Chains A and B, each alone.
Chain A
Amino acid sequence: MSTRKSPALLIVVPLVLLASALFAQAPKLGKPISAADLSDWDINILPDGTGLPPGGGTPVDGARVYAAKCAVCHGPEGKGGANARLVGGEPIKNFESEKTIANFWPYSTTLFDYIRRAMPYRQPRSLTNEEVYALTAYILSLNKLIGEHDTMNAQTLPKVRMPNRDGFIVRFPDKTP
């Protein structure tokens, strides 16, 4: 029924023109937000230490926080709990090896970032920055990656060299189009 088709076509053409005209001018509906209003969400820590907050903590401080808030899932002193052990680990041989902080994690900053955003599992974002620094120091110390009296802060944490730092083959961008 060609007679019924032509009015529809007449309508379609102006709509297409209208759509492309709208597309050309960006809606610009995003509202500017200040750093202060964003601060509670601005929690990414980059491997060079970008984003680390002021403050610091020691393994001794961390042991107290750990016993109160972490040991129930991860076990006393980072092992023997129902959830991931945080201490030790045989050298990585193949994918049946258990990935641990000491034998696999390439960057110390990941520890601070992950504890602060995701832990404790039932109360994420409940720890202060000082507590996160202290826990990070405690776990690194249990793994003998720092001394038992070393303080972790924005300057010292990114300098902690993780044993498996060079254990990776980077596929991007080499093997992606």
Chain B
Amino acid sequence: MTPRDQAKRELESLTPVAGNGLLHRRAFLRGGATLAGAMSAYRLVPSASAQKLADDPWSLAPGAAVPDYGVRSRFEKNVVRTLSNPKAEPRTQHARTPHHLLNGTFTPNSLHFVISHAGDPDIDPEKHRLVIHGLVKQPLVFTLDTLARYPMVSRMAFVECGGNSAPMFSNEPIQASIQALHGLVSCSEWTGVPLSTLLDEAGIDPKGKWIVAEGGDAPHLSRSVPLTKALDDAMIALYQNGERVMPGNGYPMRLLLPGWEGNMNIKWVRRIQVTDQPGMTFYEARTYAPILPNGKAYRFYFIQEVKSFITHPSPGLALSGPGFYEISGIAYSGNGRISKVMVSADGGRSWAQAALQAPVHSKAFTRFRLPWRWDGGPALLQSRAWDEAGNMQPSRSELVAARGQTTKVPAVTAFTSQHYNAIQSWSIERGGEVRNVYA
């Protein structure tokens, strides 16, 4: 018996810890590398069977010149964002992150989701200015060069559009990739100057209770932020995953409000006014005010609450046949660290605790993983997350009872409501296809 066969038999003998083949979260760690090698890989196309190995052309001659700015392999060209408005017609543009084609916890800069309400401005960093004024002792203006001399901090943080997962408000499940359903959230390491440093330098008047932040883009997009958040963990971010913030994410600087609604994280930020009241700007007075079933609407729904979804497998990433797989996904909360993720393969009848990839950062993506033996039959995968503040991800029926659902199926791109964070259910069909279902 080969080591691989032995490992496979050892794994097959493992007793599931929950229904439909969920294994203990440390089963592979106990079994070691050979056990992991017995897993079936996720494949978009069936692979060829084993054959005699030979050197391919790339092993028989020197390769290409090393570029000054790296680009991914030409074989990865399908790993792209989906665009809602590729011709930049005069309306909002959305670019969604392909979660099913990524792994780990950070989003590559080129694949970070973007929503731009009037395109991405082409800002000359030499001419960009950040002004702090209003209820302060001394209004101040900063250049990028001066900000670069301040003490900086780095932190991991997800940014999520308040309208992410809006298709899940549909009364019938919409069949679309996870990118279409949940692609308006991404996570990066952000580096910049704490906003509190700059506000302190300007000297906050005791009457100051809010800031109104504004971008240098064409709509001069503005949002109000409570001063408590501005003085807590807000940052003027200059770097994203080590390089300057991308144009779509606010080059040369953005306001970062860890865990709070994406739209408030003002991109291309150029002005911060300290005020005694919120501005009731267009985006807080109208757009990000989700209507409830009783006809009233929430105002100032700032926090992106605890949420998780399974990315592997998911619609767009089918299973290639019965056998062993790693179920994995991402969990995050605007209220702090993820404390626990449970996974079910039988629609919530039984649950197994997933392993959390360490380190677990506050208000950032946490990758969860759980080994699974798929027997080839129907399965219903779900994940449920908890955060350190004690919040539990709601079921869809709980969320719908509080927030409503549509009466007819909307377009997949429609933003019927916001702040959807309920449990996501994926149905595994006999052929390995994955469908979005309500369970």
Partner-B contacts on A (CB < 8 A)? 19, 22-23, 26-35, 38, 41-48, 50, 73, 83, 91-97, 99, 104-107, 109-110, 113-114, 117-118, 121-122, 124-125, 167-173, 176-177
Query: How long is the Cα–Cα vector from A34 to B290 in the complex, in angstroms?
Result: 39
A44 x B286 contact (CB < 8 A): no
Is A94 within 8 A of B297, CB to CB?
Answer: no
Are A167 and B282 CB-contacts (below 8 A) given A73-B90, A177-B335?
A: no
Task: Kindly identify, within residues 186 to 233 of chain B, every residue whose CB is under 8 Å from any CB belonging to chain A.
Answer: 197-198, 200-202, 212, 214, 218-222, 226, 228
Taking a contact as CB atoms under 8 Å apart, the answer to whether B299 and A33 are in contact is no
A65 vs B315: C-alpha distance in the bound complex, in angstroms?
49
B150: which A residues are within 8 A, CB to CB? 27, 29
- State the 6 A-B residue pairs at the shortest beta-carbon distance, nearest first: A30-B140, A172-B300, A117-B220, A118-B219, A29-B146, A95-B291
Known: A41-B271, A173-B226. A121 touches B302 (CB 8 A): no
**Which residues of chain B are near A104, meaning CB under 8 Å?**
286, 289, 297
Task: Assess the A93–B300 pair: CB atoms within 8 A.
Answer: no
Query: Which chain A residues border B151 with CB–CB below 8 Å?
Result: 19, 22-23, 27
Find out whether the CB atom of B302 lies under 8 angstroms from the CB atom of A172.
yes
Cα-based distance from A125 to B214 in the complex (angstroms): 14
Q: When the two chains form the complex, which single residue of B277, B291, B389, B416 contacts A92, counting CB atoms closer than 8 Å? A: B291
- Of the listed residues B149, B278, B281, B298, the one surrounded by the most CB atoms of chain A closer than 10 A to its CB is B281
CB contacts (< 8 Å) of A176 on chain B: these are 302-303
Q: Find A96's partner among B226, B271, B407 (CB 8 Å cutoff).
A: B407
Residues in A whose Cβ lies below 8 Å from that of B222: 44, 113, 117
Number of A-B residue pairs, CB cutoff 8 Å, is 169
Q: Is the CB of A44 within 8 A of B218?
A: no
Q: Does B169 contact A (CB under 8 A)?
A: yes
Given contacts A110-B285, A169-B298, 13 further A-B contacts (CB under 8 A): A30-B146, A31-B140, A50-B275, A83-B91, A99-B286, A99-B291, A104-B286, A124-B118, A124-B218, A168-B296, A169-B296, A170-B299, A177-B389
Query: Secondary structure of the A side of the interface?
Result: loop
Bound form: Cα–Cα A96–B404 in Å:
10
Given contacts A29-B149, A83-B91, contact A167 B295 (CB under 8 A): yes
Contacts of B9-31 to chain A: CB distance below 8 A: none
Once the chains bind, are A118 and B286 in contact (CB under 8 Å)? no
A-B contact pairs, 23 of them (CB 8 A): A19-B151, A30-B141, A32-B140, A41-B131, A41-B271, A44-B222, A92-B291, A94-B291, A94-B404, A95-B290, A96-B407, A96-B416, A97-B295, A99-B287, A99-B291, A105-B285, A107-B285, A110-B282, A110-B286, A114-B282, A121-B118, A168-B299, A172-B299
Pick the residue among B131, B221, B285, B290 that contacts A38 (CB under 8 A). Answer: B131
Residue numbers in A under 8 Å from B220 (CB-CB): 43, 117-118, 124-125
B302 touches A114 (CB 8 A): no
Given contacts A96-B406, A169-B299, A171-B302, contact A33 B90 (CB under 8 A): no
- Measured between beta carbons, the chain B residues less than 8 angstroms from A28 are 201
Contact of A27 with B286 at beta-carbon distance under 8 Å, contacts A95-B169, A104-B297 already known: no
- Shortest CB-to-CB span from A75 to chain B, Å, is 14
* B 365-377 to A, binary, CB cutoff 8 A, 1 in contact else 0: 0000000000000
Distance from B257 Cβ to chain A, minimum over Cβ atoms (Å):
12
In contact, A106 and B201 (Cβ under 8 angstroms): no
Closest chain A CB from B435 CB (angstroms):
25
If A27-B149, A27-B150, A30-B142 touch, does A168 touch B298 (CB 8 Å cutoff)?
A: yes
Does B337 sit at the interface, judged by CB under 8 A?
A: no
Rounded to whole angstroms, the CA-CA distance of A3 and B375 in the bound complex is 55
- Indicate if the CB atoms of A29 and B291 lie closer than 8 Å: no
From A42, A46, A113, contact of B282 by CB (8 A)? A113
Chain B residues with Cβ under 8 A from A92's Cβ?
Answer: 291, 295, 297
Q: Which of B102-144 contact A (CB under 8 A)?
A: 118, 131-133, 138-142
